[in-house]
């Protein structure tokens, strides 16, 4: 006999767990299936020491893509206070981290455990190592192949994005949604480091700086591709929060002359930086320029810029030519780097692309093409800044689908 459920949720990441426990809480028989041995999906791997679930700067402007307003209903219905309240009510207190606006549980594991406990006490079944290979719609529901055959009146697709294939990501969600008639926008790596053609940045590996970044293509600034935040130089490329936030625009534009403009003095007017340089150099005319520049830039970066301006090692400030001072000022505020790519899907913390938004209702996450089908979380064609925004949307969309399924 086939195992039958009212609702089958495919994927046990944040969106799938929240969808499953919400639907089961409304009295439906629910199974959440995940192909991995553990649940929690990509959230289990969130980095920089903090597993953010939302952000103090939560706002629509932090979402990007073809229709960023798509997220607004779900986020209004399950806003930051409601999200904090849900975790608080399940014994996990979220706290504001003192960086990047992150709002985090004491550990990601505690947040996932709270979701799993809530799922289990709602009566839903959680099946791991259960890889869904096909979903066939029928006259009164769906037949799901996952090693065994299952049936459900409704299916919630929550398979996440195609980044990190080595950790459970991949094209499965796109393939399953595509076989059901949905169109998926192509995926590109996001929240990922970028590579540049110049070799000097690799010599600064380990240096963190606050910067303003802007991407341009063939000399024209790209829309929605400017940001201010931290950047880390590594041997493989540039990474860090600010780089993550512009990275989603790199792959779609490769081959068209992608350039990264870096301002190493974010938040300062050009004239103020010029005056600062003038004053620092004016007070240190007899000092070696590589020591004087240390008052304006980290010494390692200052040394690179002095070398670019062909300043001889040990040359005193008063020996600098006006052309060299202007060259330094330009590099401090307007360094241009040739972007050659990203560190790829295996390194990307998120991705763009996914199920086309106009095929899904933004209030209920019900498919407009397939009766009884719902699509939630990162499988949808939305993208957001780094810092907990996608996690919040994943939970909010899962909840909205769980509330409306079989209504």
Ligand X SMILES: Cc1cc2nc3c(=O)[nH]c(=O)nc-3n(C[C@H](O)[C@H](O)[C@H](O)COP(=O)(O)OP(=O)(O)OC[C@H]3O[C@@H](n4cnc5c(N)ncnc54)[C@H](O)[C@@H]3O)c2cc1C
Residue ranges in contact with ligand X by CB under 6 A: 10-16, 33-36, 41-43, 45-47, 52, 131-132, 158-161, 164, 168-169, 172-173, 191, 349-350, 377-378, 384, 386-391, 394
Cβ neighbours of 166 (radius 10 Å)? 9
Q: Which of residues 377 and 402 has its CB atom nearest to ligand X in the complex?
A: 377
Nearest approach in angstroms of CB 325 to ligand X is 40
Nearest approach in angstroms of CB 54 to ligand X is 9
Q: Which of residues 119 and 164 has its CB atom nearest to ligand X in the complex?
A: 164
Nearest approach in angstroms of CB 331 to ligand X is 30
Collapsing DSSP to helix, strand or coil, 193 comes out as coil
Q: Which of residues 11 and 141 has its CB atom nearest to ligand X in the complex?
A: 11
Residue 296 tokens read as 């304006």
Nearest approach in angstroms of CB 273 to ligand X is 30
CA distance 4 to 13: 22
CB 74 within 8 Å of CB 45: no
CB 177 within 8 Å of CB 355: yes
**What is the largest distance, in Å, between two alpha-carbon atoms of the chain?**
89
Name the residue with tokens 């030519």.
321
Q: Which of residues 327 and 387 has its CB atom nearest to ligand X in the complex?
A: 387
Nearest approach in angstroms of CB 11 to ligand X is 3
Cβ neighbours of 276 (radius 10 Å)? 16
CA distance 81 to 167: 31
Kindly list the distances between the CA atom of residue 98 and the CA atoms of 109, 186, 266, 403, in Å, as whole numbers in the listed order.
21, 36, 20, 34
Q: Which of residues 141 and 169 has its CB atom nearest to ligand X in the complex?
A: 169
Q: Which of residues 35 and 188 has its CB atom nearest to ligand X in the complex?
A: 35
Q: Which of residues 105 and 387 has its CB atom nearest to ligand X in the complex?
A: 387
CA distance 135 to 7: 13
CB 363 within 8 Å of CB 223: no
Nearest approach in angstroms of CB 137 to ligand X is 17
* 30-33 vs 125-127, strand pairing mode: parallel
CA distance 10 to 144: 10
Q: Which of residues 11 and 402 has its CB atom nearest to ligand X in the complex?
A: 11
Nearest approach in angstroms of CB 16 to ligand X is 5
Tallying the residues shown for the chain, one arrives at 407
Nearest approach in angstroms of CB 75 to ligand X is 12
């Amino acid at each position: 006999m086939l195992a039958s459920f009212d609702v089958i949720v495919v994927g046990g990441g944040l969106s799938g767990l929240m969808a499953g426990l919400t639907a089961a809480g409304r009295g439906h028989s629910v199974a959440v299936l995940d192909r991995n041995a553990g649940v929690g999906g990509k959230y289990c791997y969130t980095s920089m020491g903090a597993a953010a679930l939302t952000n103090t700067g939560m706002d629509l402007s932090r979402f990007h893509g073809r229709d960023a307003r798509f997220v607004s209903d779900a986020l209004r219905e399950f806003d930051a206070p409601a999200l904090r309240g849900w975790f608080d009510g399940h014994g996990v207190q979220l706290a504001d981290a003192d960086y990047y606006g992150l709002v985090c549980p004491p550990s990601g594991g505690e947040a996932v455990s709270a979701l799993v406990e809530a799922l289990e006490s709602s009566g839903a079944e959680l099946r791991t190592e259960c890889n869904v290979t096909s979903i066939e719609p029928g006259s009164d529901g769906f037949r799901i192949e996952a090693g065994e055959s299952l049936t459900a009146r409704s299916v919630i697709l929550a398979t996440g994005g195609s980044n990190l294939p080595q950790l459970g990501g991949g094209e499965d969600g796109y393939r399953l949604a595509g076989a059901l008639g949905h169109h998926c926008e192509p995926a590109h790596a996001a929240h990922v480091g970028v590579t540049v053609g110049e070799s000097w940045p690799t010599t600064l590996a380990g240096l963190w700086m606050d910067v303003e970044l802007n991407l341009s293509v063939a000399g024209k600034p790209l829309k929605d591709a400017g940001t201010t935040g931290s950047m880390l130089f590594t041997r493989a490329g540039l990474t860090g929060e600010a780089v993550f936030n512009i990275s989603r625009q790199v792959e779609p534009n490769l081959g068209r002359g992608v350039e990264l403009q870096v301002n190493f003095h974010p938040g300062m007017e050009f004239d103020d930086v010029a005056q600062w340089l003038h004053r620092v150099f004016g007070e240190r005319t007899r000092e070696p320029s590589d020591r004087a520049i240390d008052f304006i830039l980290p010494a390692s970066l200052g040394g690179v810029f002095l070398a670019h301006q062909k300043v001889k090692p040990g040359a005193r400030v008063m020996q600098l030519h006006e052309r060299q001072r202007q060259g330094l000022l330009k590099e401090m505020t307007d360094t241009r780097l040739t972007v050659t790519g990203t560190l790829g899907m295996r390194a990307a913390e998120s991705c763009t692309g996914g199920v086309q938004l106009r095929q899904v209702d933004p209030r209920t996450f019900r498919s407009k093409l397939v009766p009884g089908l719902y699509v939630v979380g990162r499988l949808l064609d939305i993208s957001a800044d780094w810092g907990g925004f996608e996690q919040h949307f994943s939970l909010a969309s899962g909840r909205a689908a769980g509330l409306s399924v079989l209504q």
